[in-house]
Amino acid sequence: MAKTITKIVLTGGPAAGKTTLISRIFKEFKSEDGWKIITIPETATDLIAGFGIRPFGNCISMELFQYFVVSDQLHKEKMALAGAALVPEDKILVIYDRAVMDDKAYVSDEDFRKTLEHFGRTEEDILAGYDAVLHLTTCAKGAEYAYNYGNAARSESIEEARHLDDLTLRAWSRHPARYIIDNSEDFEAKIDRAISQIYRILGEPAPEQRKRKYLVKMPDCELLEKARNVQPIDMMQTYLLSSEPGLERRIRQQRSEGVPMYFYTQKRIAGDGTRWVTEKPISEKEYVSYLMESDLSLHGVRKRKYRFSYDGRRMELDIYPFSDDKAILFVYGADGKLPPEIEVLQEVSDMAEYKNRALADRQSL
Domain boundary, last residue among 185, 202, 219: 202
Confidence class for position 77, pLDDT limits 50, 70, 90: very high
Number of structural domains (the chain) is 2
Is 236 in the same domain as 350? yes
pLDDT: is 268 or 321 the higher one? 321
Is 40 in the same domain as 184? yes
Domain boundary, last residue among 202, 226, 244: 202
pLDDT: is 256 or 51 the higher one? 256
Alpha-carbon distances, residue 95 vs 52, 80, 146, 181, 315 (angstroms): 25, 10, 25, 16, 25
CA distance 330 to 207: 14
pLDDT score recorded for residue 149: 57
Domain boundary, last residue among 202, 228, 252: 202
pLDDT score recorded for residue 205: 78
How many C-beta atoms surround the C-beta of residue 326 within 10 A? Answer: 15
pLDDT score recorded for residue 270: 66
Is 31 in the same domain as 173? yes
Q: Average pLDDT of 302-306?
A: 94
Is 237 in the same domain as 270? yes
Is 141 in the same domain as 223? no
Is 184 in the same domain as 46? yes
- CA 294 from centre of chain: 23
Q: Provide the 8-state DSSP code for 219.
A: P
Is 173 a residue whose pLDDT tops 80?
Answer: yes
Is 185 in the same domain as 256? no
Average pLDDT over the chain, rounded to an integer: 88
Burial class (CB in 10 A: 0-12, 13-18, 19+), 357: middle
pTM: 0.75
Is 153 a residue whose pLDDT tops 50?
Answer: no
Is 104 a residue whose pLDDT tops 60?
Answer: yes
φ, ψ (nearest 5 deg) of residue 98: 65, 160
pLDDT: is 10 or 233 the higher one? 10
Q: Average pLDDT of 151-177?
A: 85
Which range marks the domain in which residue 261 is found?
211-362
pLDDT score recorded for residue 60: 75
Is 29 in the same domain as 163? yes
Contact yes or no for 40/69 (Cβ under 8 A): no
CATH number, position 235: 2.40.320.10
pLDDT digits 0-9 by tens, 127-150? 999 999 999 999 889 887 777 655
pLDDT score recorded for residue 56: 62
Q: What's the first-to-final CA gap in the chain, in angstroms?
A: 44
Q: Average pLDDT of 105-131?
A: 94
pLDDT digits 0-9 by tens, 227-281? 888 888 899 999 999 888 778 899 999 987 777 889 999 887 766 666 778 888 8
Is 258 in the same domain as 188? no
Is 57 a residue whose pLDDT tops 70?
Answer: no
Is 286 in the same domain as 332? yes
CA distance 365 to 353: 9
CA distance 281 to 255: 14
CA distance 226 to 219: 13
CATH number, position 87: 3.40.50.300
Is 164 in the same domain as 301? no
Is 128 in the same domain as 156? yes
pLDDT score recorded for residue 274: 67
- What percent of the chain has pLDDT above 90? 56
Across the beta sheet with 4-11, the strand order is: 35-40, 91-97, 4-11, 132-136, 178-181
Question: What angle (nearest 5°) sits at the alpha carbon of residue 145, between those of residues 139 and 148?
Answer: 70
Contact yes or no for 65/103 (Cβ under 8 A): no
CA distance 307 to 305: 6
